[in-house]
Chain A
Amino acid sequence: MATKVLMEALSPTMEEGRVVEWLKAEGETVKAGDVLAEVETDKAVMELQARADGVLRKILAPAGSTVPVGDLVAVIAGPDEDISALLEQRRPATRSQEPAARTQPRAPETKVTPAPAPPAAVTGGQPERADRIKASPLARRLARERGLDLALISGSGPGGRIVKRDLERIEAARPAIPAAIPAAAYRDVPLTQMRKTIARRLVESLGPVPHFFLTVEVDMERAWDAREALNALGEEPRISINDIILKVVATALTRHPECNAWWQGDHIRYFNEVHLGMAVAIEDGLITPVLRNAERKSLREIALEARDLAERARARKLKPEEYTGSTFSVSNLGMLGIDEFTAVINPPEAGIIAVGAVTQQPVVHNGSVTVRRRMRLTMSCDHRVIDGATGARFLQTVKRMLENPLALVW
């Protein structure tokens, strides 16, 4: 039977440990009592011992990484045993002190319900974690379905348990959220057999949200000029490239409702309104406030609202209804000099666009090489909802509108 190797509390006050060195390698046979790794605690370097016989099948916390007590660091199992289920349960909380190999922002994941099975519940022997969320099974299901983050909801039940009425209170407080908006705001389409098969196969292959990615390079000269011209009017607010992108994405989504959708397990919900999530980096995390009905707002309104939301997000003053219920998201790391990246979809949404920096590039334009402002957009698509060509057509519209911003007033 597979055994989890957890980061153990090797000192009474230890909350996390740094793996100094693995003394056993993946594939090596180990016996209970063998020293697997050296772990630096808050006090000393200690030995992490095997608690079972078997093969050290998988090391999840490489040397140098720091892991909270109770988190999975390795798996001991039989040589051919299937350990995929154990690996899936792993909390994504492991932090590495080495430079991150990937630049994928975990932005939208802040809204995902926290890891479903904390180690405390699985192993039984661990103390209850302070960040464990107490919620009734019903509240958990409703939060999942409605895209609410339980971590941000206070529970009124015994011991702070989050129950149905707490979610209803939140919903009542925000009449504009998609779950509560009139039926005309979206249409639910049952899954066809083909869509079901696609969904099932892709989930087997790629994980619970089967992503694929589409990248397009956009010529930003005219958008840049448009921004300059608008700002030359000297009026507030000043328009940013990001505001233009938000406006374009919202408008393009109205023409491609097939990308403005939620995966709902047994059906897909296509929205007729655009609630655009915009990932905002905040101190030690990030959050995606939502521009409600972005498709009906002018560029000026979007600029004002986006600035206000971002400011209040950084001040941690957003209300729950302001960062839930988005139908599509945009994440922009261009201001940090990232040329292109892939963003992680924020379920149940079906897509997110990752925006890179606008940079001057030599390109062939009208038959000669010239320097032009270029930008790369990468769209992550949930393949259960969006197929390659569907996403590509949407991205084409976004590109065309950015390259000809007059389309926004057309």
Chain B
Amino acid sequence: MPVLTYRDALNQALREEMQRDPNVFLMGEEVGVYQGAYKVSRGLLQEFGEHRVVDTPIAELGFAGIGVGAAMAGLRPVIEFMTWNFALLAIDEVVNSAAKMLYMSGGQIPIPIVFRGPGGAALQLAAQHSQAFEAWYAHVPGLKVVAPSTPYDAKGLLKSAIRDDNPVVFLEGEMLYNVRGEVPEEEYLIPLGVADIKRPGDDVTVICHSKTVAVALKAAEELAGEGISAEVIDLRTIRPLDTDTILKSVMKTNRCVIVEEGWPFCGVGAQVAYEIQRGAFDYLDAPIERVTGADVPMPYNKHLERAAKPAVSQVIEAAKRAAYAD
């Protein structure tokens, strides 16, 4: 099976969907001539032309709004934000227009749009450019929120997102673009709303998504050396949340650690923990643990930055607390 980078897997997904459906087009800053700030759109301008690969000014609110309008008119736009930090300027179009149009038109106007780009922290980009926004968008009824961790998932989920008739917020990882993984040659889709067990285990469930999947898998490996078998569940889609897979696992392991890059307060893990205590109360043997980014603006100092991100050691400690093994 071919091994691709996350960036090339996304590129394949865009190319295949644009070949499949002439209504799909890509718009954003530097997506065309520059081939994408992170080269996700490499070669697309050459293949599909400037009507379908549209470079925009640095005006997030404007081109997000054009995207929503195009979706209202029947096209299937893919709007690339250079990063989700910049998309704060466009959040009115995402939350107030894209998410609500179907509802406010009495079901007449679907908005089949994908907003995509890298989210979360990279390295030393400082407080304003190192933020994970999953919880923000997942809070909004009318939006689907996807955050893949592997090239395989990224491709299959982006194709499903483009074909979905609802607005999808697709959060990639800047630090994931170079991650390599097997991607089949034949076409496949991964349905939205289905989590993936990245590593089966019996003693503790570790729930994660996007970049924290690698953290969780590393922790699971070290825990295995200490006789604790961790099951790693990659949510893949934050909303709709795959509660079934989560509950099934926690009912088996009786313990849970939820890992996310974002801030703790009202984070994704807060919702997941609620679902678990609600649906698997009688199966819990320990309080649900969370490992999150520190509750501070991201420090620029590289040592402080490292300390503010969820670390393997934190996941191990949390898993041991949950397993009463410390």
The reply to whether the CB of A198 lies closer than 8 angstroms to some CB of chain B is: no
B286 engages A157 (CB within 8 Å): yes
Q: Is the CB of A137 within 8 A of B324?
A: no
Asked whether any CB of chain B lies closer than 8 Å to the CB of A156, the reply is yes
Residues of A within 8 A of B283 (CB): 137-138, 141
Q: How many Å lie between the Cα of A368 and that of B282 in the bound state?
A: 63
| B284, A138: Cβ atoms closer than 8 Å | yes
Which A120-165 residues sit within 8 Å CB-CB of chain B? 136-141, 156-158, 163-165
- In whole angstroms, how far apart are the Cα atoms of A141 and B284 in the complex? 10
Number of interface residues of A (CB under 8 A): 12
Q: Are A139's CB and B324's CB within 8 A?
A: no
Residues in A with CB closer than 8 Å to B285 are: 136-139, 163-164
CB contacts under 8 Å to A, within B234-281, are 254, 281
**Other-chain residue from B254, B281, B282, B324 in contact with A157 (beta carbon distance below 8 A):** B324
A311 to B307, CA, bound (A): 62
Number of A-B residue pairs with CB-CB distance less than 8 Å in the complex they form: 28
The minimal Cβ–Cβ distance linking A282 to chain B, given in whole angstroms, is: 32
Q: Are A163 and B281 in contact (CB under 8 A)?
A: no
Residues of A with C-beta under 8 A to B286: 136, 157, 163
A156 and B284 alpha carbons, distance in the complex (Å): 16
Asked if residues B284 and A163 are in contact (CB atoms below 8 Å), the reply is: no
Closest chain B residue, CB of each to CB of A141: B282
Contacts of B254 in A (CB 8 A): 136, 138, 164
Report A133 CB to chain B, min CB distance, Å: 15
- Enumerate chain A residues within 8 angstroms of B282, measured Cβ to Cβ: 137-138, 140-141
B interface, by DSSP: helix, strand, loop or mixed?
loop
Assembly CA distance A137 to B287 (angstroms): 10
The A154-210 residues at the B interface (CB cut-off 8 A) are: 156-158, 163-165
Contact check, A165 vs B324: say whether CB atoms are below 8 A apart: yes
Contacts of A136 in B (CB 8 A): 254, 284-286
Report yes or no: B324 in contact with A156, Cβ–Cβ below 8 A.
Answer: yes
Closest B residue to A139 using CB positions = B285
Size category, B interface: under 10
Residues in B neighbouring A157, C-beta threshold 8 A: 286, 324
Residues of B within 8 A of A158 (CB): 324
Chain A residues lying within 8 Å of B324, measured Cβ to Cβ, are: 156-158, 163, 165
Give CA–CA (A98, B145) in the complex, Å.
Answer: 66
Interface core residue of A138, A158, A163 (most chain B CB under 10 Å): A138
Within 8 A of A (CB), among B73-108: none
Interface residues of B in 306-326 (CB under 8 A from A): 324
**Chain B residues within an 8 Å CB radius of A139:** 285
Determine how close the nearest CB of chain B comes to the CB of A287; give it in whole angstroms.
Answer: 27
Cα of A140 to Cα of B283 in the assembled complex, Å: 9
Residues of A within 8 A of B284 (CB): 136-138
Report the minimum CB–CB distance from A335 to chain B (whole Å).
41
For A156, the chain B residues whose CB sits under 8 A away are: 324
CB distance from A152 to the nearest CB of B (A): 19
* Alpha-carbon distance A139/B281, docked complex (angstroms): 11
Which residue on B lies nearest to A167, using beta carbons?
B285
The residue in A156, A158, A164 that gathers the most chain B C-beta atoms within 10 A of its C-beta is A164
A117 to chain B, nearest CB (A): 14
* Of listed A137, A156, A157, residue having the most chain B CB within 10 A: A137
In Å, the complex CA distance between A164 and B255 comes to 11
Complex Cα spacing A136 to B255, Å: 11
Q: Name the distance in Å between A41's Cβ and chain B's nearest Cβ.
A: 38
Distance in Å from the Cβ of A157 to the closest Cβ of chain B?
Answer: 5
Q: Mark A288-310, 1 if CB is under 8 A from B, else 0.
A: 00000000000000000000000
Considering only CB atoms, which chain A residue lies closest to B254 in the complex?
A138
Q: How far is the CB of A134 from chain B (nearest CB, A)?
A: 12
Residues of B within 8 A of A141 (CB): 282-283
Beta-carbon nearest neighbor of A157 in chain B: B324
CB A353 to nearest CB in B, in angstroms, measures 32
Contacts of B281 in A (CB 8 A): 137
> In this complex, what residue of A is CB-closest to B282?
A141
A138 to B283, CA, bound (A): 4
**Residue in B254, B283, B285, B324 with the greatest tally of chain A CB atoms within 10 Å:** B285
Cα separation A141 to B254 with both chains bound (whole Å): 12
Distance of A165 Cα from B324 Cα, bound (Å)? 9
CA–CA, A164 to B286, complex, Å? 9
Nearest chain B CB to A368's CB is how many angstroms away? Answer: 63
Question: In whole angstroms, how far apart are the Cα atoms of A378 and B324 in the complex?
Answer: 47
A408 to B222, CA, bound (A): 62
Q: Nearest Cβ distance between residue A243 and chain B, in whole angstroms?
A: 41
Nearest residue in A to B251 (C-beta to C-beta)? A138
Write out the residue numbers on chain B whose beta carbons fall within 8 Å of the beta carbon of A137. 281-285
CA gap between A255 and B254 in the complex, in Å: 40
How far is the CB of A12 from the nearest CB of chain B, in Å?
A: 34
- A139-B283 Cα distance, complex, nearest whole Å: 8
- Cα–Cα, bound, A157→B254 (Å): 14
- The CA-CA distance from A376 to B286 in the complex, in Å, is 49
Q: What is the minimal beta-carbon distance from A216 to any residue of chain B, in angstroms?
A: 40
Give a binary string over B281-299; 1 marks a CB under 8 Å from any A CB, 0 the rest: 1111110000000000000
For A163, the chain B residues whose CB sits under 8 A away are 285-286, 324
Smallest distance from the beta carbon of B286 to chain A beta carbons, Å? 6
**A138 vs B324: C-alpha distance when bound (angstroms):** 14
Q: Could you tell me the distance between the alpha carbons of A325 and B283 in the complex, rounded to whole angstroms? A: 22
A140, B286: Cα distance in complex, Å: 12
The chain B residue sitting closest to A138, CB to CB, is B285
CA distance in complex: A157, B324 (Å):
7
Docked CA distance A136–B286 (Å): 6
Against A, the Cβ 8 Å flags (1 = close, 0 = not) of B219-230 are: 000000000000
What separation, in Å, do the CA atoms of A163 and B281 have in the docked complex?
14
Chain B residues whose C-beta falls within 8 Å of the C-beta of A140 in the assembled complex: 282
What are 28 A-B contacts with C-beta separation under 8 Å? A136-B254, A136-B284, A136-B285, A136-B286, A137-B281, A137-B282, A137-B283, A137-B284, A137-B285, A138-B254, A138-B282, A138-B283, A138-B284, A138-B285, A139-B285, A140-B282, A141-B282, A141-B283, A156-B324, A157-B286, A157-B324, A158-B324, A163-B285, A163-B286, A163-B324, A164-B254, A164-B285, A165-B324
Given A136-B254, A156-B324, A157-B286, 12 further pairs, Cβ under 8 A: A136-B284, A137-B281, A137-B284, A137-B285, A138-B282, A138-B283, A138-B284, A139-B285, A141-B282, A163-B285, A164-B285, A165-B324
Closest 9 CB pairs of A and B: A138-B285, A141-B282, A136-B285, A164-B285, A137-B284, A137-B281, A138-B254, A137-B282, A163-B285
